[in-house]
Chain A
Amino acid sequence: MRLKTITYYLREAVQSIIRNSWLSVTSVGVVAVSLLILGCSLLLVLNANNIAANLESSVEISAFLNEGASVNDVNNLKLKLESLSEVAEVKYVPKEQALEEMKDNFGDKKDILAGLEEKNPLPDTFRIRTYNVEQVASLAQHLETYSLVEQVRYGQGVVEKLLTLSRWVRTAGLLTMILLGIAAVFLIATTIRLSVFSRRKEIGIMKFLGATNWFVRLPFLLEGMVLGFSGSALAVLVVYFGYLSLIGNIQISLPFMQLVTDRKLIIPLMEGILALGLAIGAAGSMISMRRFLKV
């Protein structure tokens, strides 16, 4: 297609958007909100899955020991644990070391933990890894029978909860997005209908001058796509920069949270949202043209 024709179409589309500015703004807004919700829930799902995967790969059992367990008792228990067939590794973490690790996790904010050295509230702990994840639950139960062990914890429940949460977020986000997306399509269809109506005289002239159907239609299709794209661009800007600042803040205040920061994952997500915006716009125009633009 020649440049002149393209500029003709674009000029027509932009003029029409200005003419119906209120409805245009509303359509763009609804597209933006629906895709904003999609973007947020996708990022949430992405992160929940990421955290779940990290946890799963590091499922280990922490067996917290009674306070004041003697070195002898501890060594005996360690030997006993190591003799169990499902146990791959047993690591003894004295409470002083546990405190140091916690400080490391807090990074800059480790001042919060200042003064805990004198009366360390953390217990001595055995960290136990199994050969395979399925053995974790039964081993944890078994560990609770030892008198020296006060409490047993492992990540399995957390992993499951996270995955459930992620499924919920995905379903709820998708559902809201679909409903709002449909609303956006119809709002754009209404905008285009007005635009067709306000230009019916021109359309009539085009037709008797021998314009092809697509010549008549394209400005309207473009108008819908410009509306859809504007909405999605807005959503992408908010989601992308919002997320970047969230990452920045979280890495300062909650350094142990592992958020997805890989641009290779986030950029395609944003591209997808833009494409979806275009598709919503195009769908809206098509609906309207089918009904109101008899050529």
Chain B
Amino acid sequence: MIQLQNVTKIYANDVRALSDVTLRIRKGEFVFLVGPSGAGKSTLTKLLYREELPSRGHIIFNGKSIVRMRPREVPYLRRKIGMIFQDFRLLPQKTVFENVAFALEVVGASNREIRKAVPAVLGMVGLTEKSSVFPDHLSGGEQQRVSVARAIVNNPLLIIADEPTGNLDPETAWELMKLLLDINRRGTTIIMASHAWDIVDAMKRRVVELSGGKVVRDEEEGSYRYEA
């Protein structure tokens, strides 16, 4: 489903974030991106939802070139990708329901669709009771579940999670992982950048390690650190 072919990204200030990355991710995979800060994990995710364009190389998503895509096609690409961030990125002046509904409003869904889809995903992430609460009154774990609900409400093909457990305590982090696994089992591809070695080790999923902008390891059922 996703193919990166010799992708190099050099930022305007001559920083080489990725060099010659070739990677292939199949539909339904759960892939961890690991590696030290500045290894290029964030850049890789930004390239996937076309926040950034590669300096060289090709990226194919769902059979289409992201690089050659016209600017006005970009929103439609992003509607197929759900984003989850470390800092949740919820709108504080909107309730839980409105935050999730926003993802549908933005794509022009009707009121009826919104009234149907939002309670369904809120039920899935276990926040039905918190529907009319504002994000500031929620715990970190609950806020992150809202952002998961927002990411899946459009039925995306791919979920990109950038350090989603970074701001959560271990217990809530595990709850979130169960939720993501659940979503993955229903067929959604998930790419998760993470520093949480315990989670990565326990999940036994594909691990792609980046270092200095290069893929240095790519193992099925891998662990956080390379085991000799």
Which residues of chain A have a CB within 8 Å of any CB of chain B? 2, 4-5, 8, 201-202, 204-213, 215
Contact = CB atoms under 8 A, between A and B. Distances in A.
Contact of A209 (B51, B72, B106, B110): B106
Nearest to A215: B106
Q: Which residue, of A2, A5, A210, has the highest number of chain B Cβ atoms within 10 A?
A: A210
Given A202-B91, A204-B89, A213 B72 contact: yes
Size category, B interface: 20 to 34
A2 B110 contact: yes
A210 B110 contact: no
Interface string B100-123: 001101111011000000000000
B9 interface: no
Interface of B: 49, 51, 71-72, 75-79, 83, 89, 91, 102-103, 105-108, 110-111, 150, 154
A215 B108 CA distance: 9
Contacts of A208: 49, 51, 78, 83, 89
A209 B108 contact: no
B91 A205 contact: yes
B108 A210 contact: no
Contacts of B105: 5, 8
A82 B71 CA distance: 83
B111 A210 contact: no
Contact of B72 (A4, A202, A206, A212): A212
29 contacts: A2-B108, A4-B110, A4-B111, A5-B105, A201-B89, A201-B91, A205-B89, A205-B91, A206-B106, A207-B78, A208-B49, A208-B78, A209-B78, A209-B79, A209-B83, A209-B102, A209-B107, A209-B150, A210-B76, A210-B77, A210-B78, A210-B106, A210-B107, A210-B154, A211-B107, A212-B75, A213-B72, A215-B106, A215-B108
Contacts of A2: 108, 110
Contacts of A207: 78
Contacts of B71: 213
